[in-house]
Structure 1
């Protein structure tokens, strides 16, 4: 009855006030759809409520963090994900938002599947993932930054020498392709040599992630991405506080501290790559160096493997927009 009345009101040729027409349009086209009974039970039957029954071991397996770590992360980002100005009768709390995000990166489920579990719409899950990822990077990234001192790099080099017998190594560098769905109007910009669409996460690790560069198009090689990265500029300008070259046993000339990478990276003073295959066929010393370098460089491969194993979102194509993928 109301719908018919409003349509007749709009079609009438009377000198009705423009405000009445605006109210009619608002009533017809902007009225909210009634909330389903399924979504209304989020506070009592949603997955966030049911996970409280999990044991500590299952909780860690479910979210990939312990309850203590969950509380620590929540304390850092709580102010950035507050539901200010929300008029809903049952707003989504900050702990529930963090739980949705952690479960998303731990499981790699799609937003619609997450919405069914947590009794939310898929758009709500998407907004939560984007919001929480940005808050975590903003608040926690400064806390995880390396000290940037010569002593810091020296301690890393000591670990590589002790574990992999590669002296003066201060990190292993490589790139990982994160699968994405083809962005609209992007052509082949994100189409890589593996015949998939991706963006590149480039990282330097010593089993911990020391520094990352993320967001480059998948069609670029690791060498091209490195050449245009902030890290390459800092290496060139000597602003990383890397210790000066020093002596190591048996060798008389001072040796610089280096990052190690594969054949895709350029050879420079603080970045070492293996000898090409033609140089190791009949040269035992070159073959030994390549072997030791490969052992040291496997730390970055293992770190990417641990990352994808712990957070399964890296094993399937991201559904988010590119900006959200970079944040995640």
Structure 2
């Protein structure tokens, strides 16, 4: 990667790598407080309002996902970075709002770690566990008497927690329209993070091939691209929805790989929270008119 840049500008490879390293650090230092700040209670409420308006998912604080970023095997690393896809990688975990902007990122976990280990040791996972994420208090769902907590939405790679919803397993969805509706509504909200990763990888072509740099430089490059992504999305926030969808590119087949499904044990409180959302989405107050047509087309 740095060799190509050095040849293009007629400079030494070490000089090019140092310039990229310093510039990415400066981008993160100056843009992060503005375009990727520490979330507050007010910010979470605004994000939840946007998800309810744009994606019809209530009490949603964002979509969460993690991707494997391929890299050349670091020296003397053994099998530390070797993942289930038979590649060496580090993991990027991110949460995204309804406008495809990152609200939190965590990069650097070794690819060999299990999904549950990565999540529990990430910044988001630790803050969800110890209650320091400044999440708003519980709020009633449409058509529900009892209050439900604010939640993130993720795919099968994440554990089911009180503040983290995942879809029903495929074996339970077969022949059950209510579960299909829930999975469809959750998928609509979760698509925002997939779109965000697609926009990121198509806009910054460095993600199209494995990284060939030191781990410190990789962390700086990834964090800089994420905050630049937010800067560009914020400037274009007044554009219409069609324009937002048009600049989304397909994910590369060798970069930003999805993790394996999670097999973590779930608590009874998490199951109860999921049932509340299921009842809401299947009630007259919480349903949307196109959801049953969507599940008939197999969108769940």
CA–CA separation in structure 1 for the residues paired with 2:51 and 2:152? 11
Matched, 1:309 2:182: no
CA–CA separation in structure 1 for the residues paired with 2:35 and 2:115? 24
Contact 1:260 1:273 in 2 (8 A): yes
Matched, 1:324 2:217: yes
Task: Give secondary structure in 1 for the equivalent of 2:133.
Answer: coil
Q: Give, in angstroms, the shift of residue 147 of structure 1.
A: 5.8
Matched, 1:239 2:126: no
> Which protein, 1 or 2, shows the higher relative CO under an 8 Å CA cutoff with sep ≥ 6?
2
What are the Cα deviations for residues 80-128 of structure 1, in whole angstroms up to 9, with x where unaligned? xxxxxxxxxxxxxxxxxxxxxxxxxxxxxx2222112212111110111
- Indicate the residue corresponding to 1:137 in structure 2: 28
Aligned-CA RMSD value: 1.4
User: Structure 1 unaligned runs (5+)?
Assistant: 1-109
CA–CA separation in structure 1 for the residues paired with 2:123 and 2:218? 20
Matched, 1:189 2:80: yes
Contact 1:157 1:167 in 2 (8 A): yes
CA–CA separation in structure 2 for the residues paired with 1:202 and 1:131? 23
Task: Give secondary structure in 2 for the equivalent of 1:262.
Answer: coil
Q: 1:249 aligns with which of 115, 123, 142?
A: 142
CA–CA separation in structure 1 for the residues paired with 2:39 and 2:32? 14
Q: Which has the higher helix share?
A: 1
Task: After TM superposition, list the pairs within 5 Å mapping 1:2-13 onto structure 2.
Answer: none
User: Structure 2 unaligned runs (5+)?
Assistant: 222-300
Point out the structure with max Rg over C-alpha. Answer: 1
TM-score, L = length of structure 1? 0.64
- Indicate the residue corresponding to 2:120 in structure 1: 227
Q: Give, in angstroms, the shift of residue 296 of structure 1.
A: 0.7
What are the Cα deviations for residues 11-54 of structure 1, in whole angstroms up to 9, with x where unaligned? xxxxxxxxxxxxxxxxxxxxxxxxxxxxxxxxxxxxxxxxxxxx
CA–CA separation in structure 2 for the residues paired with 1:147 and 1:265? 23
- Indicate the residue corresponding to 2:53 in structure 1: 162
Task: After TM superposition, list the pairs within 5 Å mapping 1:8-157 onto structure 2.
Answer: 110-146=1-37, 148-157=39-48
Contact 1:174 1:222 in 2 (8 A): no
Contact 1:175 1:222 in 2 (8 A): no
CA–CA separation in structure 1 for the residues paired with 2:91 and 2:67? 6
What are the Cα deviations for residues 126-180 of structure 1, in whole angstroms up to 9, with x where unaligned? 1111111122222322223446332211111111111111111111111111111
Contact 2:151 2:163 in 1 (8 A): yes
Contact 2:39 2:103 in 1 (8 A): no
CA–CA separation in structure 2 for the residues paired with 1:187 and 1:252? 54
Q: How many residues are matched?
A: 219
CA–CA separation in structure 2 for the residues paired with 1:245 and 1:219? 36
Task: Give secondary structure in 2 for the equivalent of 1:275.
Answer: coil
Matched, 1:274 2:167: yes
CA–CA separation in structure 1 for the residues paired with 2:208 and 2:26? 23
Task: Give secondary structure in 1 for the equivalent of 2:145.
Answer: strand
- Indicate the residue corresponding to 2:284 in structure 1: none
TM-score, L = length of structure 2? 0.70
Matched, 1:200 2:94: no
- Indicate the residue corresponding to 1:60 in structure 2: none
